[in-house]
Amino acid sequence: MTIEFTRTGPPLAEVRLAEVAGSALPTDYRRFMLAQNGGVLGEIAHLPDDDSGASVRAFLSIDADDDSYDLADTLRTYDGRYPQGLLPIAFDASSNLILLDIGYQQSGSVWFWDHDGEADENEPPRTDNIVKIADTFTGFLRGLTTGFTPEEEALIAEMVAGGTARKGPYVPPGGFTFGGTT
């Protein structure tokens, strides 16, 4: 299924990308940013069979008209709240971050950061609230879908039939698990 964007960021020069995001960017992410400079998705996308709870509402842009999805603003707002060596690249439906590894553990991999599990103010960032969700940015993009797996469809139908469905984000049975290191 193709992910569709309702809008993307303004044209972006490589020098401006490096100025805001640094020069240690994986090639696939650099190409994505230079081609469309992030953007807001038409529908929230998720990774099928991923129990992290990760989804994508919008990819961060540079110099976007909408400050809520601006990379420079996000870097200032979230400075020191997630481990060094990770770069925020997207927001999920619950304002958690999708992060790109640019020197954390496996350069080029993609991680989910749950803001509900972050460290207290003036404490170092925790690592038990992050989990790797893709080995590469390209793999992450290719894995995104707005559809449901047959198992998810069956669970939704069962919940609706049983009257247990409610509005809000999907939480898998047993809750979410995180595989970050401490």
Supply the DSSP string of 15-31, one letter for each residue: HHHHHHH-S---HHHHH
Beta bridge partners of residue 8, listed in sequence order: none
Bin 79: left if φ > 0, else alpha if -120 < ψ < 50, else beta.
Answer: beta
What is the pLDDT, as a whole number, of residue 21? 96
Q: Domains plus CATH for the chain?
A: 5-162 (3.40.1580.10)
DSSP-derived secondary structure letter, 10 = P
Is residue 90 within 8 Å of 58, Cβ to Cβ? yes
Q: Tell me the three state secondary structure of residue 83.
A: coil
What is the pLDDT, as a whole number, of residue 49? 66
**pLDDT average, residue stretch 51-62:** 87
Between 109 and 120, whose confidence is greater?
Answer: 109
Between 69 and 173, whose confidence is greater?
Answer: 69
pLDDT in tens, 122-180: 888 888 889 999 999 999 998 888 876 667 667 767 777 776 655 455 554 544 443 33
Distance CA 134, CA 83 (A): 17
Buried b (16+ CB within 10 A) or exposed e, 130-159: bbbbbebbbebbebbebeeeeeeeebeeee
Task: Report the predicted TM-score, pTM, of the whole model to 2 decimal places.
Answer: 0.79
pLDDT in tens, 21-55: 999 999 999 999 999 999 999 888 887 666 777 78
Neighbours of 73 (CB within 10 A): 14
DSSP-derived secondary structure letter, 118 = P
pLDDT in tens, 1-11: 567 889 999 99
Model confidence band, residue 16 (pLDDT cutoffs 50, 70, 90) = very high
The pair of structure tokens assigned to 5 is: 């964007």
Chain CA centroid to CA 114, Å? 10
